[in-house]
Structure 1
Amino acid sequence: MERYSRQVLYKGIGESGQHLISTSTVLIVGVGALGSLSAEMLARAGVRKLILIDRDYVEYSNLQRQTLYTAHDAQEKTPKVIAAKGRLMEIRPDLEVEAHIAHCDAQLLMEVAASANLLLDGTDNFDTRLMINDVAYKIGIPWVYAACVEASYSSAGFIPGSTPCYRCLVPILPSTTLTCDTAGIIGPAVQMAVAEQVTTGLKILTEQFAPPYYMRVGNIWDMDHMKFRMDAMHSDECETCGIRPVYPSLLAQADHAMRLCGRDTVQVMDPRINGAVVDHALGRLGTEVNHTPYFKEFHYENFRFVCFNNGRLLIHGLGDMNKARTLVNQLFG
């Protein structure tokens, strides 16, 4: 326990709290700015296992705030979960890390969340957060929300059966279309959001998260930090935590094409498209392909394609989903 001696000395954790932390499994959805930093904090805190889900790879624009990654990761376009796993294992060789290079849909999340004690939100979009919320309340595990953009941050913890859920809070959440890719972000805002998120997570893991329950928000540039109480915001009519829950985000049919938040990139899901299909189609066209251990990269009609082996494609430089479907049909039939 020498590695965690300073943490054990802290009266809020102690030996009993450290034992609970060291036997816990935490699932993190998204290992960008929020998720990569929370993963590192939890690894250093001593959790037994981390489960990581992310569909993206490291780019140079990530390095300003995504502290697990290096220029080498960006140069190699290493999938974030793979780069994160490698760095986390360097920090703590005894840590168990389960990495999923995948788009996080309801089926995958339901499968992997069943073995977790806690779920952390490292995403950047509203719909995925509602799905996380529905999964957490349906299977009865706590989760912690966090978000940041520009210099602002927010975070809150949700406990099925104790707190109102995220869907209950939606009417009072600030309405914004800002993202890191459109409005920018500074590193300290990420640090503040994750500090709040991981602290709440540690309280949950050590069984010390108790009422009153708050959402915390702030702007690190203006040095404004606030909290508002959310205990009474529960609605009996809520479709997730109300009297008759239906978990609508788990029922929604996923679109096979979606625009990634704040970016000129469209993601297309098509299970027909595996490595062999891509090689055959591009060989017929005489298109040059960059092969990596995780995906194939090529250019077609001035767009950059990244094709993973599970039927997932990213088309960069494109914001039109109908055009994306047309390009995929032209290439692969």
Structure 2
Amino acid sequence: MNDRYARQSLFKPIGVAGQKKISEKHVMILGCGALGTANADNLVRAGIGKLTIIDRDYVEYTNLQRQQLFNEHDADNQVPKVIAAKEKLAAINSNVQIETHVMDVTGITLAPLLADVDLLIDATDNFDIRFIMNDLIHKYNIPWIFGSCVGSTGMSFTVFPGESPCLYCLLNTTTISGATCDSVGIIASAVQMVVAHQTTEALKLLVEDEAALRTKLVMFDLWTNHYQQINVDKAKKAACPTCGTLPTYPYLSYEAQTKTEVLCGRNTVQIRANREVALESLAHQLGRLGKVNVNDFLLSLDYDPYRVVIFRDGRAFIHGTDSLEKAKKIYYQLVG
């Protein structure tokens, strides 16, 4: 066993045998923000065999307060989050296979990537994506660890397909705030508390120590010194469309997918176009309209009073408006 893991394998619940299991497992992290980068950092240091990270966004200065693995250079160059994260993670542990995807998650785009995934960790800030994830992990029988934090609060729950209530059941039983860090703020310590729960449960799953797994929903508020675990076994419903006796997986249907959406609290609209864009030629075309920055993954245009970011896969962020109609008009004016 590599000496770099000596302190971890000395921990009896893991041991040498558990460390070997960790090195053979594949974990997917959905979202590469605060929760995603911290979980990725922990798992890469722990010696995971393969890590897949998926995120649709790029690094901005507002991320640096809580999203480890990123720096000012990444923000200045608008580097996609997963690309910036992979560079840092590869320097931490070159033995880990790291796969990244700069993309928006839908049932169609995510399903092919789940073939050999042993565990999925939720690090998103978007319930549309979480419901897609919730349907897919039940369809493919993959455990996943829910995590959420805002302000000084956070929560985490591990979903076991066929055993525990799913996210849909949970939301119909437990009150979960719809606030986001973009609207009410967040402190970094709340992130780390959620990550501590997520990573620890992940390690239990990876070493196959099922008896040690937490089956309750954990919730906390660090500022008010509140911590509780809630038994949610009775939340599971036989009629649930995701985890019930006759599942229909409603969030995987084309009609249920959001094609245009307001990014909560960011005064930004995302438009999903599903077509490849030649960024270099588009940059030349748009240069007469305002300042253009382009890298291998995206193009950014200052289109006063808006900022438009167009990704190679055709997606776009229209910063400066929460009007879907205005955003679509700008997109069609610029891209066609």
> What is the aligned length?
332
Contact kept, 8 Å, 1:30 with 1:53, in 2: the verdict is yes
Q: Which runs of 4+ in 1 moved over 6 A?
A: none
Output the TM-score relative to the length of structure 2: 0.94
Output the TM-score relative to the length of structure 1: 0.95
Q: Distance in 2 between matches of 1:54 and 1:212?
A: 27
Does structure 1 residue 278 correspond to structure 2 residue 290? no
- Residue in 2 aligned with 1:95? 96
- Residue in 1 aligned with 2:63? 62
RMSD, matched Cα: 1.6
User: Residue 300 of structure 2: SS of its match in structure 1?
Assistant: strand
Q: Distance in 1 between matches of 2:60 and 2:275?
A: 27
- Residue in 2 aligned with 1:324? 327
Q: Distance in 1 between matches of 2:275 and 2:143?
A: 36
User: Residue 28 of structure 1: SS of its match in structure 2?
Assistant: strand
Letter in 1 for 2:307: R
The C-alpha deviation readout for 1:165-197, integer Å capped at 9, x for no partner, is 111111123242311011000011000001001
Contact kept, 8 Å, 1:281 with 1:331, in 2: the verdict is no
- Residue in 2 aligned with 1:299? 302
- Residue in 1 aligned with 2:208? 207
Letter in 2 for 1:310: D
Bigger shift: residues 320-329 or 85-94: 320-329
User: Residue 172 of structure 1: SS of its match in structure 2?
Assistant: coil
The Cα of 1:269 is off from its aligned counterpart by 1.5
User: Residue 227 of structure 2: SS of its match in structure 1?
Assistant: strand
The C-alpha deviation readout for 1:92-111, integer Å capped at 9, x for no partner, is 01111111011111112111
Unpaired runs of at least 5, structure 1: none
1:47-86 alignment, distance < 5 Å:
47-86=48-87
The Cα of 1:127 is off from its aligned counterpart by 1.6
1:232-243 alignment, distance < 5 Å:
232-243=234-245
Distance 1:288 1:65, change over 3 A: closer
- Residue in 1 aligned with 2:259? 256
Distance 1:286 1:175, change over 3 A: closer
Contact kept, 8 Å, 1:266 with 1:319, in 2: the verdict is yes
The Cα of 1:329 is off from its aligned counterpart by 2.0
Letter in 2 for 1:282: L
Distance 1:56 1:212, change over 3 A: closer
User: Residue 53 of structure 2: SS of its match in structure 1?
Assistant: strand
User: Residue 50 of structure 1: SS of its match in structure 2?
Assistant: strand
Distance 1:94 1:212, change over 3 A: closer
Q: Distance in 2 between matches of 1:201 and 1:99?
A: 20
- Residue in 1 aligned with 2:230? 228
Does structure 1 residue 195 correspond to structure 2 residue 196? yes
The C-alpha deviation readout for 1:11-42, integer Å capped at 9, x for no partner, is 11111211111100000000100000000000
Q: Distance in 1 between matches of 2:214 and 2:41?
A: 28
Contact kept, 8 Å, 1:212 with 1:231, in 2: the verdict is no
Contact kept, 8 Å, 1:212 with 1:229, in 2: the verdict is no
Contact kept, 8 Å, 1:273 with 1:332, in 2: the verdict is no
Unpaired runs of at least 5, structure 2: none
Contact kept, 8 Å, 1:143 with 1:157, in 2: the verdict is yes
1:84-233 alignment, distance < 5 Å:
84-210=85-211, 213-233=215-235
The C-alpha deviation readout for 1:39-79, integer Å capped at 9, x for no partner, is 00000111011101001111111111111111111111111
